[in-house]
Structure 1
Amino acid sequence: MKQWIAALLLMLIPGVQAAKPQKVTLMVDDVPVAQVLQALAEQEKLNLVVSPDVSGTVSLHLTDVPWKQALQTVVKSAGLITRQEGNILSVHSIAWQNNNIARQEAEQARAQANLPLENRSITLQYADAGELAKAGEKLLSAKGSMTVDKRTNRLLLRDNKTALSA
C-alpha cells in the first residue's frame, strides 16, 4: 500500500517529470553574432563570455528548434567554438582555439626541454648494442643521447626521466 501511495505522489509532482528541452524560434536578418548568442544565453539563463575575435553578422530563420541545436547552428555558421563550464558559456573563433593549442604545445615542449637529464646504463646479454642503438635513437627526446660501449656491450643513455622510463 505504501508503495502505491509513493508511486502516485511521484507521478503528481511536476518537478520529478523529465524536463523537455526548450524550443527556440529565431528570426534575425544581418544581426551581429554576439547579440544572437546573448539572446540564446539569456533564454537558458547562462552567463556568456564572448571573445573579442568573435565578429560578423548572421541571418537565420529557425522555428521550434531545440535550444542546443539553435546554439550549434549559430556557432557553426559563424565559424566559432563554444565551451561550457557550469553555467558559463565561452565563445571564441576557431583561429583563437588553434593559436591556443599551438601555444600550449609550445609551452609543453619548452617544459620538456627544460627537464633535467639523467644517465642510465643498460648492459645487454644476447643482443648487439650497436644494432639496438640504431633503433633506440628514435625513442629519445631532442636533448637525449645514446652512446654504445662495444667493449662491455652496453648502451649509455642520457635523457630526461620521462623519455628514459618509456
Structure 2
Amino acid sequence: MHCNMKLKIFPLAIVLFITFLFILTSCSYGDKNSIEEKLQKVLDDGISKYDVRGVSAAVIFPDQKVWKGVSGTSYDTVSMKSDMLFAIGSITKNIVATLTLKLAEEGMLSLDDPLSKWLPRYLYVDNTITIRQLLNHTSGIYMFWDNQEIWDD
C-alpha cells in the first residue's frame, strides 16, 4: 500500500471509530434502527470527505446483534460488500496491543512474561524476549516473511 493511501485511510479509520463510539453512546439502546442509519451515514459521508474508494465496518451490540455497513466501491465499479476481505496492514498492531494490555490489566499475563511462556515453540527466539519488548518493537526479532523455513513448519 502506498504511503499516500495510508495517510488517507488512517484519519478515516480514527474518525469512523470515534464517530461510532459517539453514536453508540449518545443513542438509546432501544433505538437500534436509528443507530444503524446513523452508522451508515457516517460511512457514506466518510468516503466523500476523506476521498477513499470504499469502506466497511461492523458493530457488535450488547445483545450480540451484529450490524455490518459498507459504502463505495472495492475496485473498478464493484460495489463494496460486507464479506469482502481487506489487507489491513499495520492496524492490527493497535488491536493486538490493546487486547494484550487488557489481559495484563486483568492479571491474565504480565508484560514482563517471556515470549516462551506463551509461545513455547516459537523458533529462533531466545527466552529473554518479553511481551513488553514485542509491544514496543525492541525484541530484536527479525523480519521473517522471506524465511521459507518458518512457512514450512
Shorter-chain TM-score bucket reads: under 0.3
Greater C-alpha radius of gyration: 1
User: Which has the larger strand fraction?
Assistant: 1
Which protein, 1 or 2, shows the higher relative CO under an 8 Å CA cutoff with sep ≥ 6? 1
